[in-house]
Amino acid sequence: MDLEGVYYLIDTRIVPLCGRYKRDDMRTYGLNSFRDEVSTHLETVKELFQEFQSEYGRCISKVMHGNEPKEVGWVFEKRMAYEDEPKEHYIQETWITLHRKCTHCSGGFTHAEIEKKPYNPGPE
């Protein structure tokens, strides 16, 4: 997959681990979302995946899209401490999807399919 012109969208959710809410309640807080262009120093999807993994924690799932589902991103999670209560923790769940500028619509984006699995490239 050529990374030139690829953008990524990051959605971050906070899942509390303390108090009366359990992770299974599927409550999320502090939703944050932004889009940015992939850094030009990265050449492969594997390098991109590894950079996201070092920033956002372990990969727990793929993000699939479309009628014939295609892999378009990943879901990462990381245990974090609250800044004001360092003994209390939460799970930071980060969804990252890859996009390209849409050539058919003005200013829009379309999903970019991940052609090679970065976490198990296999022999070539």
Residue 65, domain member (yes or no): yes
Residue 124, domain member (yes or no): no
Residue 90, domain member (yes or no): yes
Residue 119, domain member (yes or no): no
* CA 67 – CA 101 distance, rounded (Å): 21
Residue 123, domain member (yes or no): no
Integer CA distances (angstroms), 66 to 49, 51, 69, 72, 110, in order: 21, 26, 5, 10, 11
Residue 66, domain member (yes or no): yes
What string of pLDDT tens digits covers the 124 residues of the chain? 677 778 777 887 777 766 544 544 545 555 566 667 777 677 888 888 998 999 999 999 999 988 888 888 999 999 988 888 888 888 888 888 888 877 777 767 777 888 765 555 445 5
Give the domain range for residue 10.
Answer: 6-111
Structural contact between residues 43 and 57, judged by C-beta atoms closer than 8 angstroms: no
Residue 87, domain member (yes or no): yes
Residue 64, domain member (yes or no): yes
What is the Rg, in whole angstroms, of the alpha carbon atoms belonging to the chain?
16
Look at the chain and report how many structural domains it folds into.
Answer: 1
The model's pTM: 0.73
